[in-house]
Amino acid sequence: MTGLLHRVGETQRRAVRIRVDGAEVSALEGDTLLVALLTSGARLRESEFGDGPRAGFCLMGACQDCWVWTEDGGRLRACSTPVAEGMRVVTRGAPWPAP
Amino acid sequence: MAGPVIVVGAGPAGIRAAERLVEAGLRPVLIEESARDGGQIYRRQPEGFTRPHEALYGSEAAKARALHAAAEALRPRVDWRPETLVWAARDNALLVNAAGRSESLPYAALILATGATDRVMPLPGWTLPGVTTLGGAQIALKAQACTIGARPVFLGTGPLLYLVAWQYLKAGAAVQAVLDTSPFMKRVEALPWMLARPGLVVRGWTYTRDLQKAGVRIATGIMPVAIEGDDRAAAVRWRDATGQDHRTECDAVGIGYGLRSETQLADLARCAFAFDAGARQWLPVADEDGRAGVPGVYLAGDGAQVRGADAAELAGRLAACAALRDLGTAVDEIEMVTLRRRLAPMTRFRRGLERAFPWPANLAAALPDEALVCRCEAITAGTLRRAGGEYGAPEVNRAKAFSRTGMGRCQGRMCGLAAAEVLAAARGEPIEAVGRLRGAAPVKPLPVATEAAP
C-alpha cells in the first residue's frame, strides 16, 4: 500500500529504522512518528468506536487523533514525537501489558 | 502577588512579549508546548533540515528570520521551558507538565499567547485517513517536507485555503480543486474593510491568479457534501453555486474555515468571555492593551482574537507593556500609543476577513444525522440533536453531559464550535443562546505516569 504522505524534499537525511506492527519501516532522522508511519502506510490507529482507521488531523498537537502505542503500552502523540532508531509501535489497538 | 511574569506560547506574540519584559530587566518564564519556538505560522523545521527561510516562509521570510533571531537572543535571558504543557491554572499559578513531572508555577503576571487552530465544520467522511486541517497540510510541508497527498483537494474558506493550495502547487502537487464555501461577492462587499491592509489583498489575489494560471479549478459559493473513500480519502462530493452536483477525485483533502482562538487557559484563569458576533464565537474579554478582566492576566495574539502574525507581534509587545506598567515599571506612553495605532488597521482587516470568508454556520443544520461531529468519541449529529431536543439540553455543556460531545481527548477543540451550531440549529435558537464549552483541566491529556514534583 502506498503511503498517505509524499516527501517533496529534505531526503538527504540519515535513515532511521523502526518497527510498526512488527514489520520494519524505514524513516529519516528528523521525521515525526506521524510522518514515518504515513509515508509508508495509510493509518495510525483504529478508532475505538468502530468507525474505521484514523491518521491524525491537525498535525499540531491539538486534536489528539494521532495517538499510537508502543509495544510496551506507552502512548505517543505521533505528530509531535520525533522518530528514533529502534522505536517499536503498534497501530491496531493498545497492547495488553505483560503479566 | 509573588513570582515571575510567565508567558505561555513562544509564537509571534509570546516571543515579542518576552522580549519586551527582558528589555525592562525582567527574566520571564517562557513556556512552549513544542520543542522549538516560532509558533505555527513561523514554525521551524527540525534540526538537520536545510531549506532556507525563503523556501519555507515565502513573502514572510524576513519576518520569520527576525522572529527566530529574536527568540534565539532571548534564550539565555529567559527561563526557557520548551516541551512543557500548561494543563491548568488556579490561584495565580500554572500547573505545568514536562517530561512526566508536574509542578506549580506561581506568577506575578501571566501573558497568554496560546495561538489558534483551524476552525472546522464536520462533513461525512472527515475522519478518513488523508483528511487534515489546512494548517496541518501546511505543517506537513513546512516542518516535514511532505505533502498530504499528490492530488489534494482544498476545501473550506479563508485566506489559508488559497495560501496552502498555492504552496502545494509550488511544491509540485497536482491540486485537484480549491472549493470555497464563500460566494465571491462577499469578497467584494468586504473590500472597504480589507483595504485596511492593501498589500494582503494583492497577495491573496496573486495566489488565486497563479492557481488559475496553472489550471487549478477554483469554485466559490460551494456546498460540501461528503468526503468519500473506503479506508482513505478518494473523492470529494460537492454542490456548486448553481446547485449542480460534482465529484472530484483526489488522494487527500485539506479542510478549514478560518481559525479559532485557543482559549482554554484564559477560561481556567477565570477570564470573562463575551460573544463576538463577527467571529460567531465566545472570546475572552480584554482591553485594547490585552488586559483581561482578571488582575494580572493578559491576552495577546491569535489566542485572544484572530488578527494574524503581524498583529500578534505587536499585541505581544503591547501586552507586556501593560503588564510592566501594572507591576509599577514605567513605560513610555508613546510606545503604547504607537503599538495601538499600528494594530488598528489589523483589527479592521480582521473584520473584513470575517465578512469576506464567513464561517458557514448554515452547514451545521444540513449535516446528516449519521455524520460524526465529535471525532474523539465518534458522536453523530443525530445524537447531539437528540440531546438538544428529546433530552432538552439548553446549552452546550448540558448537551456534552448527555451526549459526550466535546468530552473527548481534544476537549472540544475540533468539534466545539460546530457542535454549538448543530445544537442551536436543532433547537431553533441563536448561536449565542447555547453558550460555550467551559474549559476543563487538564486542557490536554497528561501521561498516565505523571508524578508531582516535591
Question: Are B398 and B319 in a shared domain?
Answer: no
Note whether residue B242 is domain-resident.
Answer: yes
- Residue ending a domain, among B257, B291, B315, is B257
Closest partner residue to B139 (CB to CB) among A11, A51, A59 is: A59
B104 phi-psi bin (left φ>0, alpha ψ -120 to 50, beta other): beta
Rounded Cα distance between B228 and B232, Å, is 8
The verdict on A54 touching B (C-beta cutoff 8 Å) is yes
Mean pLDDT computed over B36-61 = 93
Mean pLDDT computed over B412-419 = 93
B275 pLDDT more than 60:
yes
Q: What is the pLDDT of residues B303-354, one digit of tens each?
A: 999 999 999 999 999 999 999 999 999 999 999 999 999 999 999 999 999 9
Q: Check which CATH number belongs to the domain holding B390 and give it.
A: 1.10.10
User: B449 pLDDT band (50/70/90 cuts)?
Assistant: low
* pLDDT given at position B149: 98
Residue in chain A lying closest to B412 (CA): A63
A99 pLDDT more than 70:
no
Note whether residue B125 is domain-resident.
Answer: yes
Mean pLDDT computed over B175-193 = 97
Q: Check which CATH number belongs to the domain holding B25 and give it.
A: 3.50.50.60
The verdict on A1 touching B (C-beta cutoff 8 Å) is no
Note whether residue B401 is domain-resident.
Answer: yes
Note whether residue B246 is domain-resident.
Answer: yes
Mean pLDDT estimate for chain B: 95
B221 pLDDT more than 90:
yes
Residue percentage of chain A with pLDDT more than 90 = 79
Question: Are B223 and B269 in a shared domain?
Answer: no
Q: What is the pLDDT of residues A28-76, one digit of tens each?
A: 999 999 999 999 999 999 998 989 999 999 999 999 999 999 998 888 9
Question: Are B90 and B125 in a shared domain?
Answer: no
Question: Are B297 and B313 in a shared domain?
Answer: yes
- Inter-residue contact B443 to B411 (CB < 8 Å): yes
Question: Are B234 and B264 in a shared domain?
Answer: no
Residue in chain A lying closest to B127 (CA): A54
Question: Are B164 and B148 in a shared domain?
Answer: yes
Please name the residue that has the C-alpha cell 505561555: B8
B116 pLDDT more than 90:
yes
Higher pLDDT, B190 or A91: B190
A1 pLDDT more than 60:
no
* pTM of full prediction above 0.90: yes
Residues in Cβ contact with B251 at an 8 Å cutoff, skipping those fewer than 6 apart: A4, B130, B149, B150, B151, B152, B232, B233, B234
Burial class (CB in 10 A: 0-12, 13-18, 19+), B246: middle
3-class state of residue A12 by DSSP:
coil
Q: What is the pLDDT of residues B134-150, one digit of tens each?
A: 999 999 999 999 999 99
Chain B, window 364-393: residues with a beta carbon less than 8 angstroms from a chain A beta carbon? 372, 375-378
Note whether residue B422 is domain-resident.
Answer: yes
Note whether residue B176 is domain-resident.
Answer: yes
Mean pLDDT estimate for chain A: 91
Q: Which of B307-311, B365-369, B401-405, B432-436 has the lowest mean pLDDT?
A: B401-405
The verdict on A88 touching B (C-beta cutoff 8 Å) is no
Partner-chain contact A82 B46, CB within 8 Å: yes
Pairing of strands B372-374, B379-380: antiparallel
- Partners of A59 on chain B (C-beta within 8 Å) are 132-133, 135-137, 139-140
Three-state secondary structure along B328-385?
CCCCCHHHHHHHHHHHHHHHHHHHHHHHHCCCCCHHHHHCCCCCEEECCCCEEHHHHH
Partner-chain contact A35 B146, CB within 8 Å: yes
Note whether residue B350 is domain-resident.
Answer: no
Note whether residue B349 is domain-resident.
Answer: no
User: B158 pLDDT band (50/70/90 cuts)?
Assistant: very high
Rounded Cα distance between B147 and B429, Å, is 41
- Partners of B35 on chain A (C-beta within 8 Å) are 80, 82
* pLDDT given at position B257: 98
- Inter-residue contact B176 to B248 (CB < 8 Å): yes
Question: Are B131 and B248 in a shared domain?
Answer: yes
Mean pLDDT computed over B73-96 = 96
- Partners of B45 on chain A (C-beta within 8 Å) are 10, 30
- Inter-residue contact B429 to B390 (CB < 8 Å): no
User: B385 pLDDT band (50/70/90 cuts)?
Assistant: very high
A79 pLDDT more than 90:
yes
For residues B343-373, b (16+ Cβ closer than 10 Å) or e, as one string? bebbbbbbbbbbbbbbbbbebbeebeeebbb
Which one of A12, A32, A57 would you mutate to disrupt binding with B, by most B Cβ within 10 Å of its Cβ?
A: A57
Q: What is the DSSP secondary structure assignment for residue A82, as one 8-state letter?
A: B
Partner-chain contact B447 A10, CB within 8 Å: no
Domains and CATH numbers, chain A: 15-90 (3.10.20.440)
B1 pLDDT more than 70:
no
Residue in chain A lying closest to B141 (CA): A8
Question: Are B127 and B193 in a shared domain?
Answer: yes
Rounded Cα distance between A16 and A36, Å, is 9
Please name the residue that has the C-alpha cell 462577499: B186
- Inter-residue contact B168 to B251 (CB < 8 Å): no
Q: What is the pLDDT of residues A18-39, one digit of tens each?
A: 999 999 999 999 999 999 999 9
Size of interface A-B (CB pairs under 8 A): 140
Q: What is the DSSP string of B270-285?
A: T--EEEETTTTEEEE-
Q: Which of B253-262, B364-373, B404-413 has the lowest mean pLDDT?
A: B404-413
Residue-range definition of the domain harbouring residue B369: 362-434
**Number of folded domains in chain B?**
3
Question: Are B127 and B186 in a shared domain?
Answer: yes
* pLDDT given at position B369: 97
* pLDDT given at position A92: 80
Closest partner residue to B117 (CB to CB) among A35, A38, A62 is: A62
Question: Are B235 and B275 in a shared domain?
Answer: no
Mean pLDDT computed over B45-49 = 93
B18 pLDDT more than 90:
yes
* pLDDT given at position B113: 98
User: B366 pLDDT band (50/70/90 cuts)?
Assistant: very high
Question: Are B278 and B372 in a shared domain?
Answer: no
Closest partner residue to A51 (CB to CB) among B48, B127, B448 is: B127
3-class state of residue B219 by DSSP:
strand
The verdict on A86 touching B (C-beta cutoff 8 Å) is no
Q: Is the dihedral of CA B447, A94, A33, B231 positive or negative?
A: negative
The verdict on B405 touching A (C-beta cutoff 8 Å) is no
Closest Cα in chain A, distance from residue B46 (Å): 6
* pLDDT given at position A98: 59
User: B446 pLDDT band (50/70/90 cuts)?
Assistant: confident
Partner-chain contact A5 B147, CB within 8 Å: yes
B454 pLDDT more than 70:
no
Question: Are B145 and B233 in a shared domain?
Answer: yes
User: B293 pLDDT band (50/70/90 cuts)?
Assistant: confident
Rounded Cα distance between B242 and B270, Å, is 47
Backbone angles phi, psi at B226, to 5 degrees: -170, 155
Query: What value of ipTM does the predicted structure carry?
Result: 0.95
Mean pLDDT computed over B101-120 = 96
Instruction: Look at chain B and count its residues.
Output: 454
Residue percentage of chain B with pLDDT more than 70 = 99
Residue percentage of chain B with pLDDT more than 90 = 93
A86 pLDDT more than 80:
yes
Rounded Cα distance between A44 and B190, Å, is 42
